[in-house]
Structure 1
Amino acid sequence: MKVVIIGGVAGGATAAARIRRNDERAEIVMIERGPYISFANCGLPYHISGTIEQREQLLVTSEPAFEARYRVDVRSRTEAIAIDRQAKLVRLRDLNTGDEYDESYDKLLLSPGAEPVRPKLPGIDSPRVFGLRNIPDLDRIMGHLEQHSPRRAVVIGGGFIGIEVAENLHEKGIFTTLVEGADQILLPLDYEMAAIVHSHMKDKNVELYLSDKVERFEDKDDHTVVYLGSGRRLQADMVVLAIGVRPETTLARASGLELGSTGGIKVDSHLQTSDPDIYAVGDAIEVTQFISGRQALIPLAGPANRQGRMAADNIVFGNKQQYRGTQSTSILKAFDLAAATTGLNEKQLIAAEIPFLSCITHSGSHASYYPGAKQISLKLLFSPEGRILGAQAVGADGADKRIDVISTAIHGNLNVEDLAELELAYAPPFSSAKDPVNIAGYVAINLLNKSHEMIAWRELHARLLAKSSELQLIDVRTAEEYEFGSIATARNFDVNQIREHLDELDRNAPVVVFCQIGLRGYLAYRILKQHGFTQVSNLSGGYKTYSWAVDKQSNPDIFDYEDIKRRAPEVIEAERSGSAVLVAPGGELHTLNAVGLQCPGPIMKTYKAMEALDAGELLEVTVSDPAFGRDIRAWAKKTGNDVLSLKSDKGLIVVLLRKNKAVPVVALPAATRDKLTLVVFSDDLDKVMASMIIANGALAMGKPVSLFFTFWGLDVLRRENAPARDKPMMDRMFSSMLPSGVDHLNSISKMDMHGLGAKMIRKVMHDKGVETPGHLLQSLVDGGAQMIACQMSMDVMGIHQSELIDGVEIGGVAAFLGEASESGTTLFI
């Protein structure tokens, strides 16, 4: 039997070796278009930083070594250009000489892999724009790093490769910017789990742009300008594209093989194509997703290896092995965190119309009393019957172990009750007596048997934005924790004293309780339910998950390219690593080790330690809680102390604080907040631009900002593609005449010239690099500015809340007066 294999690396090389082990007499020919038949493409980014020191370590085997061991006729630098299925011939081209010839086969195995997505954007062929899919790509990047010593890099794409490249460029000492078109990185994770990684990247001093896409590149003498859809321009010494991959199906399509609905090569359970003598494996094929049963493209190395082995068995022994599908288990090193997932996430379950429940827990990687415990955030998704549908884990230590356990449970058709009963290895350095997997099982069981009702952060946030008047929001943490920051409108009843406050609550109105991670919230839930409260729910994942999710996710505008070019190398290194350059800070330095402590331990210990210091003294705090970076900034701002530096390294956060004069831990009086309130009652482009530039400037100076939009100013907040609504005739007339959003404002206050003035001013702004109105508005939303739409004006003009952009609150004159009373400055525009 003669077998021709097209493509090496994971699937093809595995299949070739397996066929030889099965059949010593088989004639095996392996065709590889590239110069290397088997290399560790998953390890390529780690050579950029030097983590993998030698390039040769990435070469799994060489052509001569593979031929010697397996007696395979290996032909690298050879391309398969056509298949004659009737004659069973493959047309090959030697890329070294250009010669073409035919090779016969009895069985053919396709393992062409996937090709990187490289959109046809202006300037994409710049020598400073790179991809990273194979060894030659890596060689080009390493050559550029050696020859040009770049200081700023822009990575396009927030998937696995993009994050790994950004991390390793950062480790190389390069100021790194990541641009992602979606509203989050790492799409296999749900939004609130990705938010943990967003926060960590901020701590790492990585610039992050979300919901923004590249439009073009433009080369200058010594740098390249990256133009984003938002209007931003990023200057870079190098750009790496990591937008994604698509199946390489050119040969299969040309030969008439059937493709699946996803665009991959269609195969049956034996990995056989529509031609019984042709098999296919790896990233190029369409597979069945193990849980949903739907067809999908899942380009992962593990499944490709298994498919190569199984296809080899079926080629030699007949179709006896069946591929059960791909479960989508993966893991990524995201700087100091691991982000792991298995099964389906929320978006995929909704798309597949599979009912599900979920819970989020935050646990230690091992016993908290043993040094070095680090937090694992674990999300479990399951059906109303208890079937495990998916899981996600993010943490600096132990995330891989927990996802592997749950992945095995899914493969073995275990349910959430089985997770609670799993007997897992325990000793203080390795786990806890109740492992995070067990705890996730306990929480899921309580949800299923209705002894615990939970509310997701997104649902609570929506209800708060809608200003549900009857909702009773209760923070059951300590008073000290509550003062450090809480959810707006929440009242504070410590779980230990909540029984004394029951008469202050309405037993028949909805109650949402929350603590830092969920445990104390569960205890409060049980107390309330047993005292006659009928509508109680506990916030899933607690305040920690909520604050991560509602926080500003992007991290824009932290680098100035020209400023970077001027800085001294030692200053660059200090800033890149997240350490401030301290000039004669003065004061005695004290240290505090809070590693392994769970909430509220780190912030409470910091509070007590700072309380004992004298003004001017320094405190260095080391913590393993990944949320501490955000928490300590908020705490320092509230207490009047200074965060001098914040550095994240190997799962630990090290913060340097300076004690200032004693400031009570209470909310600052309104008069000291220096708040800015703007009333926007015009939709003239020039006036709107002025209001948003002023508001963004105030935000940049750290001032709280509120904008009150009334009458024509409401046009600024309108969605561009608002949902259609059935309206009275007068309201429809208003809607047809009003501009559909801030980027469509069509008049200016002077020299309007029937709308021509607005078009002229937009062109001038574009040519001079002025931010677009839409981008300025989004900056206000991302920066936490309070956006209030006047209810009375909405009623008059027939505008419904669903027609406005996300994040807008609805209010009246009282809301405006309340904001104005707290403001040092109020402007009418």
Structure 2
Amino acid sequence: MTNPHKLLIIGGVAAGASCAARARRLDEHAEIIMIERGADVSFANCGLPYYVGGEIGDRAALAVQTPASLKALLNLDVRTGCEAVKIDRAGKRVEVKYLADGRSEWLAYDKLMLAPGASPLRPALPGIDDPRVLTLRNLQDMDRIVAATAEGQRAVVIGAGFIGVEMSEQLRHKGLSVQLVELQTQIFPQLDAPMTDLLESELRRHDIDIILGDGVTRFESQDEHLRCHLNSGEVLDADLVILSIGVKPDTELARDAGLTLGPRGHIVVGEFMQTSDADIYAAGDAVQTQDRVIDSPTNVQMGGPANRQGRVAADHIFMPTKAKPYPGSLGTAIVRGFDVAAGITGWSEKRLIAADKPYQTVTVNDYQHATYYPGAKPLSLKIIWEPESGRLLGAQVTGFEGIDKRIDVMATAILGGMTIDDLCHLELAYAPPFGAAKDAINLAGFAACNRRDGLVRHITELPTDPQVQIVDVRPKPLVDAYPAPGTVINIPFPTLRANLDKLDRSRPVITVCAFGKMSYFAARILAQEGFYVSSFSGGIKANIDPRTPAKLPTA
């Protein structure tokens, strides 16, 4: 029998724990040591906000494994409170320090896995070291927040990304008043701005005060509270602050060891998660991989990719001839704010604009299942594709139910290299309680193909030019209840053909409706009657109360 591998793993959460578990299944006799600077390993950090708000009631449920359980299940030597301080690449050893007593020792390795993760950003702002300015990254952070919060307190959440939205929701569940501050002009900046409207309105409906286009400049400690000074000059009083403005990779150890880092400080790895040193692997939040849609470097801070990367590394270490490369990252993600969910996969429109990549997009609005079945609720689906090939580049979905289903289908379609034509013919599960005969995904494919084939021109913002005729084809009661902005000519769709004389053929026309479908039908009629016409993409569904029972308007 050959000598067993000696695998040393730095970091014991998603990527590190996954690598260790897979390694043990591949080699029962390998010596596997996993060190973790924190007090816990293999914990469910994505569940932390939900314990704060009480949706998860058992703290122990978040500690998926412990050093003792990993020893019993996988025969791993797990050392918590143990920090790696130096890598000696020539000697193939790592100096570690035990935080409890300050003792140091060198641990040898045949292969080394770096899974150090990332740390919350804490910019050097005056007053930021006040103990009432908290972040959320591990169980100890969670415990501090739980201990610091009580019903009736005032919380300021800085940053409206994943953690910011989730913590705002959970603090409201706990009875705190919440102000959510975001430097950008929209919440949840991962999505394109119009796709966040429903989520933003849902947070506001639950009395979360949202402040956009503003950031914090300093914190001022008072005896009983903390004052948050913003760029605009506004001052917010808080009993605690949750700082959620992003994370930075913990890659100082890799940098000091001379490993290659990317422009944003992430560890550069190859297709088998090897660093610039063939005996050192890396995975998780700290690494730079390749994007699966457009060939470019990316960093995806998600538990799913981290776990799969750890598995790929273990496969390459213990069965290199059979290992399959890591194919890259897509960035599929979803967030919930009370009753609204928002998901994204692939590239957003604003990312494509920043990268100067060509694209086209449509947005459709529909319900998550057949409208005649009770409980149908609206959703919005935006798809983005490559103009020349029709290949899908990204998708975003917002709504009340079925959001995860659609974003997962779209993620699979993107990874499969599917096109807008393929979406038209996807066979998705249909029964009235679950879906519709033509799912929103099919409708998005139809709309995209219509645009590509020149059957319709789409616009996403209504113009203020008085020369443009805006034709609202909804029924008059719907128009009166939920008016479109600006000066509008109301011609209900069933009467459009009989009322063409109400429109000036020398002036451009834009058709609008509630969901986008009837405005497209109207645009087709007008185009064939010689009008220069565009359809307002997606409709004006934002003006319709989504909690009313589903009732598709006739226009």
Q: TM-score, normalised by structure 1?
A: 0.65
Q: Is the 8 A contact 1:262 1:296 kept in 2?
A: no
- The Cα of 1:504 is off from its aligned counterpart by 3.0
Residue in 2 that maps onto 1:70: 74
Q: Tell me which of 566, 585, 595 is aligned to 2:549.
A: 595
- Looking at structure 2, the residues matched to 167 and 306 of structure 1 have their Cα atoms a distance apart, in angstroms, of 30
Residue in 1 that maps onto 2:535: 538
3-state secondary structure, aligned to 1:283: coil
Cα deviations by residue, 1:158-189 (Å, 9 ceiling, x for unpaired):
00011101100001111111000011111121
| TM alignment of 1:478-493, pairs within 5 A | 478-484=475-481, 485-493=483-491
- The Cα of 1:68 is off from its aligned counterpart by 1.1
1:394 aligns with 2:398: yes
Residue in 2 that maps onto 1:442: 446
1:138 aligns with 2:142: yes
3-state secondary structure, aligned to 1:362: strand
Residue in 1 that maps onto 2:92: 88
Query: For the structure 1 residues 600 and 238, does the alpha-carbon distance in structure 2 shift closer, same or farther, using more than 3 Å as the test?
Result: farther
Q: Tell me which of 257, 260, 264 is aligned to 2:259.
A: 257
| TM alignment of 1:54-133, pairs within 5 A | 54-133=58-137
Residue in 1 that maps onto 2:372: 369
Residue in 2 that maps onto 1:242: 244
1:8 aligns with 2:12: yes
Residue in 2 that maps onto 1:622: none
- Looking at structure 2, the residues matched to 482 and 49 of structure 1 have their Cα atoms a distance apart, in angstroms, of 40
1:322 aligns with 2:325: yes
Higher relative contact order (CA 8 A, sep 6+): 2
Residue in 2 that maps onto 1:348: 351
Residue in 2 that maps onto 1:338: 341
- Looking at structure 1, the residues matched to 548 and 144 of structure 2 have their Cα atoms a distance apart, in angstroms, of 44
1:515 aligns with 2:517: no
Q: Is the 8 A contact 2:474 2:493 kept in 1?
A: yes
Residue in 2 that maps onto 1:497: 495
1:503 partner amino acid:
D
- Looking at structure 1, the residues matched to 263 and 133 of structure 2 have their Cα atoms a distance apart, in angstroms, of 32
- Looking at structure 2, the residues matched to 495 and 368 of structure 1 have their Cα atoms a distance apart, in angstroms, of 20
Q: Name structure 2 gaps, 5 residues minimum.
A: none
- Looking at structure 2, the residues matched to 93 and 542 of structure 1 have their Cα atoms a distance apart, in angstroms, of 60
- The Cα of 1:507 is off from its aligned counterpart by 2.6
- The Cα of 1:600 is off from its aligned counterpart by 7.8
- Looking at structure 1, the residues matched to 270 and 264 of structure 2 have their Cα atoms a distance apart, in angstroms, of 15
Q: Is the 8 A contact 1:292 1:352 kept in 2?
A: no
- Looking at structure 1, the residues matched to 296 and 189 of structure 2 have their Cα atoms a distance apart, in angstroms, of 18
- Looking at structure 1, the residues matched to 477 and 376 of structure 2 have their Cα atoms a distance apart, in angstroms, of 24
Q: Is the 8 A contact 1:262 1:295 kept in 2?
A: no
- Looking at structure 2, the residues matched to 36 and 178 of structure 1 have their Cα atoms a distance apart, in angstroms, of 30
- The Cα of 1:269 is off from its aligned counterpart by 1.2
3-state secondary structure, aligned to 1:542: coil
Residue in 2 that maps onto 1:683: none
- Looking at structure 2, the residues matched to 406 and 285 of structure 1 have their Cα atoms a distance apart, in angstroms, of 25
Residue in 2 that maps onto 1:604: none
- The Cα of 1:501 is off from its aligned counterpart by 2.4
3-state secondary structure, aligned to 1:282: coil
Cα deviations by residue, 1:586-643 (Å, 9 ceiling, x for unpaired):
xxxxxxx942234589xxxxxxxxxxxxxxxxxxxxxxxxxxxxxxxxxxxxxxxxxx
| TM alignment of 1:288-687, pairs within 5 A | 288-318=290-320, 320-384=323-387, 385-457=389-461, 460=462, 463-464=463-464, 467=465, 469-484=466-481, 485-533=483-531, 535-544=532-541, 594-599=548-553
- The Cα of 1:333 is off from its aligned counterpart by 1.2
Give 1 or 2 for the bigger CA radius of gyration: 1
2:136 partner amino acid:
L
3-state secondary structure, aligned to 1:166: helix
2:537 partner amino acid:
S
3-state secondary structure, aligned to 1:260: coil
2:259 partner amino acid:
L
- Looking at structure 2, the residues matched to 262 and 96 of structure 1 have their Cα atoms a distance apart, in angstroms, of 32
- Looking at structure 2, the residues matched to 370 and 355 of structure 1 have their Cα atoms a distance apart, in angstroms, of 40
Residue in 2 that maps onto 1:777: none
Greater shift in the superposed pair: 48-57 or 347-356: 347-356
- Looking at structure 1, the residues matched to 164 and 384 of structure 2 have their Cα atoms a distance apart, in angstroms, of 27
1:187 aligns with 2:189: yes
1:198 partner amino acid:
E
Percent identical:
46
- Looking at structure 2, the residues matched to 227 and 180 of structure 1 have their Cα atoms a distance apart, in angstroms, of 13
3-state secondary structure, aligned to 1:103: strand
- Looking at structure 1, the residues matched to 439 and 124 of structure 2 have their Cα atoms a distance apart, in angstroms, of 49
3-state secondary structure, aligned to 1:18: helix
1:330 partner amino acid:
A
Query: For the structure 1 residues 596 and 501, does the alpha-carbon distance in structure 2 shift closer, same or farther, using more than 3 Å as the test?
Result: closer
Cα deviations by residue, 1:739-775 (Å, 9 ceiling, x for unpaired):
xxxxxxxxxxxxxxxxxxxxxxxxxxxxxxxxxxxxx
3-state secondary structure, aligned to 1:61: coil
- Looking at structure 1, the residues matched to 248 and 289 of structure 2 have their Cα atoms a distance apart, in angstroms, of 14
- The Cα of 1:126 is off from its aligned counterpart by 1.3
- The Cα of 1:526 is off from its aligned counterpart by 1.1
Q: CA RMSD in A?
A: 1.5
- Looking at structure 2, the residues matched to 497 and 383 of structure 1 have their Cα atoms a distance apart, in angstroms, of 37
Query: For the structure 1 residues 150 and 223, does the alpha-carbon distance in structure 2 shift closer, same or farther, using more than 3 Å as the test?
Result: farther
3-state secondary structure, aligned to 2:145: helix
Q: Is the 8 A contact 1:365 1:397 kept in 2?
A: yes
- Looking at structure 1, the residues matched to 173 and 316 of structure 2 have their Cα atoms a distance apart, in angstroms, of 45
Cα deviations by residue, 1:663-713 (Å, 9 ceiling, x for unpaired):
xxxxxxxxxxxxxxxxxxxxxxxxxxxxxxxxxxxxxxxxxxxxxxxxxxx
Residue in 2 that maps onto 1:207: 209
1:224 partner amino acid:
L
Q: Is the 8 A contact 1:367 1:373 kept in 2?
A: yes
Residue in 2 that maps onto 1:220: 222
- The Cα of 1:288 is off from its aligned counterpart by 1.0
Greater shift in the superposed pair: 475-484 or 136-145: 475-484
- The Cα of 1:295 is off from its aligned counterpart by 0.8
Q: Is the 8 A contact 2:156 2:181 kept in 1?
A: yes
- Looking at structure 1, the residues matched to 505 and 362 of structure 2 have their Cα atoms a distance apart, in angstroms, of 25
Q: Is the 8 A contact 2:169 2:203 kept in 1?
A: no
- Looking at structure 2, the residues matched to 341 and 518 of structure 1 have their Cα atoms a distance apart, in angstroms, of 21
- Looking at structure 2, the residues matched to 328 and 80 of structure 1 have their Cα atoms a distance apart, in angstroms, of 29
Please state which structure has a larger fraction of its residues in helix. 1
1:284 aligns with 2:281: no
Q: Tell me which of 26, 32, 36 is aligned to 1:28.
A: 32
3-state secondary structure, aligned to 1:496: helix
- The Cα of 1:287 is off from its aligned counterpart by 1.4
3-state secondary structure, aligned to 1:287: strand
3-state secondary structure, aligned to 2:424: helix
| TM alignment of 1:167-186, pairs within 5 A | 167-186=169-188
